[in-house]
Amino acid sequence: MIKNIMGFMVVALLVSSSLLSMTVIPSANAEQVSADLAKTITGKLKASRPDLSFGAVETTPVSGLYLVRINGTQFFYVNETGEYIISGDMYRARPGLFVPVKDLAAANIRKNRMAGVPKEDTIIFPAVGKTKAIVYVFTDVDCHYCRKLHNESVPVLNQQGVEVRYLAYPRAGLNSASYRKIASAWCAEDKQKALSALKNRQSIPENICDNNPVAAQYALGQEMGVTGTPALIMEDGTMLPGYRPAPELLKIIGVK
């Protein structure tokens, strides 16, 4: 479908709202192009629309197609001459989900930040046998779907070789009862047992130790774009918001 948008002849890639609801942030790594290619592309665009502010030119998984950011938050795709433009989201098909190409850099940042979280600061539910994959889960103890994930999906993931590393994300904030509960789990002698008890609506002794990592993990979750719990982050930086049944997660992770 051809449309005239912002004075350009644009090939519009139309994506339905139902498709948008299925998106997550992908795992690939976007890179800026060479200075010469960026100059060629932005030069062509500026000649057509000098009133717009063109930012970085980034690679995409599609050869010969580049992402150009405009006015800070908007974007479109162009060919290597900057003459042909595609307006709209582009998705990559992966097992179990579609992933948008526009947020490539965000996934890479998440990948690096999560890899830097000290293992001992997380509450780990280990894989049975050989570890085939690791999933990070930002969790709250007063969250229905966190309980559902913990009791239904996590045991299956563990049995299939997936290690689950929990990070604390008390949705009500750091001055809440939820914070005191989850901090007490992180400070417990048996962290696994304490966290599981809370997720089964059982009480544990309040024990908020000094230098617990809950506040730091809460801040990290906000930095990573977590807005609710559970929020799962794969080793490659892909983020999956909300509850997912184990078979769906295993398909996305690539573990059979």
CB contact at 8 A, 87 and 12: yes
Buried b (16+ CB within 10 A) or exposed e, 101-120: bbbbbbbbbbbeebeebeee
pLDDT at 201: 96
Nearest to 192 by CA among 114, 104, 123: 123
- Which one, of 60, 4, 50, 9, lies nearest residue 30 by Cα? 60
Q: What is the pLDDT of residue 104?
A: 62
- Return the structure tokens found at 117: 């979280």
The better pLDDT of the pair 79, 100 is held by 79
Cα 144 to Cα 231: distance, rounded to the nearest angstrom = 13
pLDDT, tens digit, for every residue of 152-202? Answer: 999 999 999 999 999 999 999 999 999 999 999 999 999 999 999 999 999
The domains of the chain are located at: 2-105, 116-253
116-253 CATH choice from 2.70.98.40, 3.40.30.10, 3.30.830.10, 3.90.320.10: 3.40.30.10
DSSP-derived pairing of the beta strands 133-139 and 162-168: parallel
The amino acid at residue 183 is A
Tokens found for residue 137 = 């889960």
- pLDDT tens digits along 201-247: 999 999 999 999 999 999 999 988 899 999 999 998 889 999 999 99
How far apart CA 66 and CA 69 sit, in angstroms, is 10
Summarised one tens digit per residue, pLDDT across range 87-133 is 888 887 877 777 777 766 678 889 999 999 999 999 999 999 999 99
- Tell me the C-alpha distance between 243 and 232, whole Å: 9
- Which among 96, 144, 126 has a CA at the least distance from the CA of 246? 96
- Residue 32 binned pLDDT confidence (cut-offs 50, 70, 90): confident
**Residue 92: its H or E element:** strand 91-94
Interacting residues of 16 by C-beta distance below 8 A, sequence separation 6+: none
Give the C-alpha separation, 199 to 202, whole Å.
7
Instruction: Note the pLDDT tens digit of each residue in 36-68.
Output: 999 999 999 999 999 988 988 988 888 999 989
Q: What is the pLDDT of residue 142?
A: 96
Token pair listed for 110: 């998440």
Q: Which of 80, 81, 75 is nearest to 102 (CA)?
A: 75
